[in-house]
Amino acid sequence: MTAKEKAKAIVNKITSHASWDDWNGVPRSYIERVISDGLDEYAGELVQNRLNIKIKHKMSEENVTPLTFGQKAVGLDFNPGGSDLVAQIKLNFSITIDHLNLCRAQTDNSEKKRMYSVAITDAQTSCKWAVDAASWNY
């Protein structure tokens, strides 16, 4: 099977198990090209692995660890460009957000809960700006 055929098979698997709307308008041809161009290279493997994780998450398979609160908050599984820098930024912010969420859950003080919530929102905002900076092409 050629790299292009493998890419089409992967994309067919994705679209048969997930609503294509969940990909925020990423064209099918782009996903096929990214996978076929780099299927045997590190970047291609990263993209393929991320797509497979997304498929498995959508299918709710038992062997997939669900995303943490922080990972969901930063959209860890959304990186259509496959940027390693974007992935690293999101991962680091997700760890911080998970820690803040744990602290918020462990306190009974309503003012502390509010402050942790504000900190989580600000971390999400900072993550968004950092991702924008990392992917800026103009």
As given in the structure block, the two tokens for residue 109 are 């003080």
Select from 93, 83, 89, 9 the least CA-distant residue to 46.
Answer: 83
Domain boundaries, the chain: 3-59, 69-134
pLDDT of the residue at 65: 74
Tell me what pLDDT residue 20 has.
46
What's the confidence (pLDDT) of residue 67?
A: 87
Element (H, E) at 61: none
Can you list the residues of the chain whose pLDDT is less than 70?
Answer: 1-64
Task: Give CA–CA dist 35/121, Å, rounded.
Answer: 34
Cβ neighbors of 74 (< 8 A, separation 6 or more) are 90, 93, 94, 97, 124, 127
pLDDT for res 36: 57
